[in-house]
Structures are given as C-alpha cells and as structure tokens.
Amino acid sequence: MGISRWIRFAVTCALLGAGICAYGQEMKVISGRIVNKTTNMPFGNDVAVFIYSFNTVAEAQDAFPGIKDGGTIFANNYETADNNGYYQIRVPETGALIFKAEMADEPILEKVNFRMEINVALVGGNILKSAVKSADLTTIAPMPENPEIEGNSLRVKAIIPIPKNNGKANARLILQPFLLDGETKDTLKCLRPYVVDGKEYAMTQDRRMGFDDCTDPLKPYVRDIELTSDRMNIPWTDTIELKDPNKSYFVRGVVRFEDYNVIYFEKDYELASARVRRPLKFLEYSLTNRDLDPNDYVERAQKERRNTADKISLTFKIGKAELDEADTMNRFYMDNLKRDLLDIVHGEDTQLKEFHIIGVSSPDGTYAKNLQLAKQRMQFALRQITSVLPKRVRDRVYMTTRAEVAPWKDVADLMMADSLVAEANAIYKIIEQNPDSHDRQGRLIRALKFYRPTVVDYLPQLRSIEYSYVQEINRELTPAEILERYEHDEEYRSGRKSFALYEYWHLFQMVKDKDELFELYKRAYEDSKKVYPKGWVLAANNLASAYIERGIVDTTILAPFIDTRVHTVNKKIMHMNGITSEIVNPEAVVANQLCMFLRDNNFKRASVMAQLLPDNDRNRTLKAFTMCLGGYYKGGRNQQEREEAKKTFDIVKESSPRNRVVMYLAMNSAGGNALAERAMSELPQDDALTDYFWAVIYSRKFEADPNDIMSLMTAGDFLTQSFFKDEKYVGIASGDADINKDIYKDAESRYKSGSLY
C-alpha cells in the first residue's frame, strides 16, 4: 500500500475512533423459530420471547451478562416472536443475536456467521424483571434488501415494520408495489398487491360482499396473517419477470391502512433499490450463427413469363415503307431477331405470347406525313419480322404496332450533348416561340444556315425501331441465366420484379457480396410468405443468421419453424397426404433462435431452445451458457437438476479465466469469494475489469467484516483505478450492489477530482 493509502487509512481509523464512519454496512434478514426446550412447542401468548440484534459479536458478548441478570439492555434492534414462535430480524451477516424469554433461566447467544435461518430452544424459568431500553418504533420504515437478478427474474424482498396501534382488528393493510425504470423513473407495471386483514374487518367484509369472493377484487391477495394493533413485521417478497434484465429497475410501494370507508394512512416507500447484485453480466461468450444445408431445401422451378426488349436501327428508302437493301446492317438486325423468335417457337419448353413494335421517325417534313409514313414502315417491319412464324403461332400471338414522330427538341438535345451550344440554343428558342406547331418549328429550323451542314447529320439517329416480346418459359433457368437476370435486369435487381424461389436458391450460392446476400435473404423471405404460410425455412434461417452477425434482434422470423411440443430437433413428420413431409425443429434453426433470444436478453425462452438441442460437442458450450444466464447454474429441485446445474457451472467456469472469476463470484458465498480471489492471478492485471473484480472482492470482504478497514481502503483504490482506465465502470458500479455505496461515492469523488489517491 502506498504512503497516500496509509494516510487515508490512519485518518479513517481516527474517524472510527471518534465514532464517525463514512461507510455503512448491508444488513440481512434472519428468520427462524423459537420453542420451549421442555415441551418442544412455542411459548404462545403467555410468554414474550425477545430477539436482540447486535452489529458485532463483541457487542453481544458485552451485553450478554446484563441480559442474563435482568439489567438494562442496549441493543441495536429487537423483535418479538409471534404466537407460533416465528421471528424475523435484521442484523449484519457477521453480527450476533441474543434470545431471551420472560420465563427463561438463561438467554442464548448465537453468532450469525452468514446464516439466514437460526432456530433456538429456550429453557423456561424465572420471569425476566429487566426493563428494555431499545428505541420504540414510531413510524413505518421498510427495510429493503439489495435485489438480485437471475436470468429474467428480479427477486425482491423487504421487511415492513408496523408500529404499535397503526393496525387494528377492523382495518385492512394494502401494500401496492410498482416496478419502475431505474434510469427514467417511469412506472413500468403494477405488481401483485399484498393485503393483510384484521379479524373483524375480514368478517365484516365477507358480509358486505355477500360472501362472494369475486366481489372483492383484493380478496385473492389477502395473506394468512392477521392485522392487529400490536407491533408487526410484514415480510414482503416477489419475483418479477423482466424483458431486459440488463437494465436498471427499482420497486416502490404505497402502504395504505383503511377501514370500511376511510383511508386513515397512506404513504409511498422504496421497497427495492436500483442497485442489484449480478456478476453474470461480466460473462464473456460469443454467438455463432448456423446455416442449413441448402441441398436439403431445393425449390422446384416454376412456369413463368419473361419479357425481352431491345432496340434496332433500320434504314428505309427515302419516303417509302421499304428497307434499303444497300444497307447490310438491315439484314443483320432482322436475321438476329428472326432467329431469336424461331428459337422460342421451336423450343420444347417455351412459347411466344406477345410481340410489340414501336417505330420512331425523324421530325424532318410535315408531322402528318411523317406519322403516316412511320405507321406504314412499322406494319412493313412487323410483316417482315413475323413472316418466319407459322400461321398457328401468329394466330396465337398478341401483336401491336405504334408509330411516333420524334420532336425537334430531341435533335437539339443531341447537339447540346456534342457541345454545339449555340446551334442547340437556336433550335430551343424556335421551339419555345412555337410550342404548339411542329410543322412551323420544322420550317424555321430548316431555314437556319447550319441546318444542312449540321442538323441533317443528326436526323438518322432519331429513326429507330423498338421491339419487345413476351415468352412463357416452362423450364428451369440455368444458374448462368439467373445470375444474368440478377446482374443486368434492373427490374429484377431493384426488386420491382420478384425472383422465383428456385432462382433465389441459386443466387444464394452464386452471389458473394455479404450486403447483397443480406438484401436477397430479406426479399426471398418476404416473397416466400406469399407461397407458403410459414415462409421458406432456408430463406428465413439465412436471414436470421445474417441478423445475428449484424447484432439485429427479431425473434419472429424463425418462430413458425419451431414446435416446442416436439422435444427434439430434425424431426421428420409426414403430411396427411402420405407423400410429402417436413423437418420440424431443424437444429440450425433452433440454435439460431436460441441466439436471438440471448440477444434479446430473454434467457428463459433461450433455455427452452437449449433443452431442445442435443447434448453434443457442438452444442454443449452454447447450452451451458444459456442455462447459466437463465439462472440454472445452482440449486435444483431434485438430484438430476442439481447435477445439471453443477455441470452447467463447471462448463462455464472452465471456458475462460475471466468466466472462472465471474462464476465464483456468482456463488455469493465466503467460499466462492475466496476461490475468485485465487483465480484473479490468471487475469491481465492492467485491465480495468480486473481492477473492478478486485474492488468487488474487497468490498465483499468489508461487508463481511465492517472492522476490516484494509479491505475498505483497497476496494476504493481498485474501484478508482478501474474508473480512470475505463469510464464505463462508473455507471456500472453505480447500480452494482456488489460495490458498497460509500466505497462507490468515495471512488467517484476521487475520479471526478482527477486524483487516483
């Protein structure tokens, strides 16, 4: 320990000596039963049995002679046992209790020593004549314990002491707890009410409700405890299921006393703080997505219609609807188009359904004449193109022609693209001045000086024929054709047109870019839901797998393919038709859904998935982490569950040095703390998390022994070091019940001031 630490140590000791201590201590609720050793029965109403609590064993030993001799008693707190001998009292884990009955010959001193239950048998004797000078309870002040989170369960408990004369036989006590968000302080939900009725109130209420329990909405929440005017301790516990156990929560409650018509007391209290003990949040583990074998989920090809469109340029004789035979390209274009059509006609699995042709003429000449000539040329071209088709085919093909005259603006646009700015602007001006007269535009443009040497050369570019045809294909496209469609057909690539499922299947194998595959998975999944009620399992699993890689959570994708009633994976089920079958609970699907639930912090649902997976080498670690995060790593209702819990604990513990420390801390016991301390040597000593673990270990040591000032100081130093190395631990420690509140405040103050010591 450095000099500065020793200085702080000396100052702290001086403060303690002066009766001033900046550090509080966590209390525990101890319960048990006290009986008469002679009869082995409770003392009942006739004898008062007192339980005195002391913060340290030494204090109890000092007070013991006085209690024994009937002298004045200076206890930190006291309680009395009920008629059945049961009691509850708050005391430090390292403190002590003294039990004394009015007729007992001798009191009994019990060291708490980390026990949660202490049962005592007292011997009856002389009446105790001493006076008890312990502070009287005058107000209701709940004594909450630090809550614990295991899996998705938040376990909370508190003792609500009721002062004498607050309750009465003709009254009802109602405790209405609420779960609140630890950060926003918003109320998330109402919890189960806790109701205690006085004897007279219960009888009268039954009569008022016509002896119908359904009439009183609070009747199901009435506890088997009787409200009286005596001092009482009301033990409240609850287990709350959380959607996100990584968030911060706390519980407040309204305590209300009412008689039949009047609320005579009402107050709001904190029942559980937002500081929670949960070392499992530091577990390190990875989630690996799994893929299905695509060969097990091949989709059949489907009949489809396919559109093909192209543009060709044909040269016609001037002023006529005949092709210019001198232009060899005319024959080239026509022959290629005819060959394509014949391939469709003669194909065994293709059929020509539609053929459409659109002709565009240049704007030179009058509009009406150009349009008429364009129509004649289109009819001529259609006859030439379709002349190769048999009559039976032509009769069954829907064919259309359309003729258009290109506007003069198209000529100006072409010239502008070639940087003939002045010439193009001259044409634009004529068009603007004569917007409704194509013929006048032509006359004025032809009168331009640059018309013959420049404009005429652009006119042939506007004489074209566009055609499109629709073919019906009754065959599976080749992978190359599918990839060609995906890469070059903008209608399909953009998603405006959908691929068939078998085409998606091939694309999954051929497309290599992960981002493109991700989009394909989404498209295939959505399109498949139009074909199958559940969707296509391959697309769904691929999408879920991609989500896991990207940290995206969606537990709805794979849910339709999992049936928890089938307690296994890869179960083949034959359909009612006796021909087709399906695989229920594919192993990869179950494993991915498990990962989704873990991402969603839904550890209980994840544990259900884990129970479906076979216990093999591939699944063993994933199953163990899932069960551990769900809280199933200790205890158990029977021998088998206890053995499974131990196996889970051991697998997670051995998975990494860090996880070994975490699991020992999760034992939440003196033995576990000692094992965690030994395991710390395996961690990187310059890491912020290592410092944080040391802070937890020494904070627990101080909680176990409030006189252990060295542990108090060391915990503060390690916690401060972790803050300086990584600021995120400031926020983590603020809600961690494993870090003593005052140790946290001291470390936070040092961090804010920039002083490590």
| CA atoms of 658 and 681, how far apart (whole Å) | 10
**Could you give the CA distance from residue 302 to residue 343 in angstroms, rounded to a whole number?**
20
The pTM for the full model equals: 0.56
Give me the residue label for tokens 């502070």.
Answer: 135
Yes or no: say if 157 and 29 are a contact pair by the CB < 8 Å rule.
yes
Q: From 357, 365, 355, 433, select the one nearest 395 (Cα to Cα).
A: 355
Residue 179: phi and psi, rounded to 5, are -90, 130
CA dihedral of 275, 277, 279, 285, whole degrees rounded to 10: -70
Cβ(269)–Cβ(174) under 8 Å?
A: no
> According to the model, what pLDDT value does residue 26 have?
59
DSSP assignment letter at 736:
B
**What span, in angstroms and rounded, lies between the C-alpha atoms of 283 and 629?**
9
Distances (CA, A) of 373 to 342, 383, 402, 403, 532: 29, 16, 12, 9, 53
Residues 747, 741 contacting (CB under 8 angstroms): no
Pairing relationship of beta strands 263-272 and 249-258 according to DSSP bridges: antiparallel
**Within 10 A of 260 (CB to CB), how many other CB atoms are there?**
11
Q: Is 636 left (phi over 0), alpha (psi -120 to 50) or beta?
A: left
The DSSP bridge pattern shows strands 187-190 and 172-181 to be antiparallel
DSSP letter, residue 443: H
Spatial distance between the Cα atoms of 133 and 72, rounded to a whole number of angstroms: 7
Cα 150 from Cα 633, distance rounded (Å): 10
- Return the H-helix or E-strand segment holding 250: strand 249-258
Contacts of 184 (CB under 8 A, 6+ apart): none
DSSP notation for 339-402: HHHHHHHH-TTEEEEEEEEEEEE-S-S-HHHHHHHHHHHHHHHHHHHHTTS-HHHHTTSEEEEE
Point out which residues pair with 251 in neighbouring strands: 179, 272
How buried is 732 (Cβ within 10 angstroms: 0-12 exposed, 13-18 middle, 19+ buried)?
A: middle
Both tokens of 175, joined, read 């405790």
Which residue type sits at 335?
D
Question: Can you read off the two tokens belonging to residue 241?
Answer: 């299921």
Pairing relationship of beta strands 222-227 and 194-198 according to DSSP bridges:
parallel
DSSP code for 148: E
Measured over the CA atoms of residue 236, residue 242, residue 248 and residue 249, the dihedral's sign is negative
What are 373-427's pLDDT values in tens digits?
888 888 888 888 888 888 888 888 898 888 889 899 999 999 999 999 999 999 9
pLDDT given for residue 9 in this prediction: 38
Q: How far apart are alpha carbons 181 and 239 in whole angstroms?
A: 16
Find, among 136, 250, 135, 255, the residue nearest to 186 by Cα.
Answer: 250
Amino acid at 398: Y
Weakly modelled stretches of the chain, pLDDT under 50: 1-24, 125-136
- Write down the residue that tokens 């006189």 correspond to: 707
Q: Give the span between the Cα atoms of 511 and 546, in whole angstroms.
A: 14
Sheet holding 120-122, edge to edge: 86-91, 28-36, 120-122
Q: Which residue has the tokens 């001259």?
A: 426
pLDDT at 98: 92
What are the backbone dihedrals phi and psi of residue 401, each rounded to the nearest 5 degrees, phi first? -130, 155
Cα dist. 520→305, 500, 509, 511 in Å? 21, 12, 11, 9
Residue with tokens 């020509």: 352
Q: Give 444-480 pLDDT, tens digit per residue.
A: 999 999 999 999 989 888 877 778 888 877 767 889 9
- Give the pLDDT score at 257: 92
CA angle 535, 538, 544 (to 5 degrees): 85
Burial-class residue 602 by CB neighbours within 10 Å (0-12, 13-18, 19+): buried
H/E stretch holding 84 reads none
CA 486, chain centre distance (Å): 34
Rounded to the nearest 5°, which phi and psi values hold at 391? -60, -40
> In a 10 Å sphere around its CB, with 0-12 CB exposed, 13-18 middle and 19+ buried, how is residue 604 labelled?
middle
- Give me the pLDDT at residue 699, please: 94
What pLDDT shows up at residue 73? 63
Domains of the chain, CATH where assigned: 1-25+656-757 (no CATH), 27-122 (2.60.40.1120), 147-274 (2.60.40), 304-473 (3.30.1330.60)
Closest among 401, 355, 411, 394 to 377, alpha carbons compared: 401
Tokens at 251, concatenated: 């519980």
DSSP 10-54: HHHHHHHHTT--S-----EEEEEEEEETTTTB--TTSS-EEEEEE
CA distance 610 to 644: 13
Determine the Cα–Cα distance for residues 361 and 373; give it in Å rounded to an integer: 8
Strand, helix or coil for residue 574 = strand
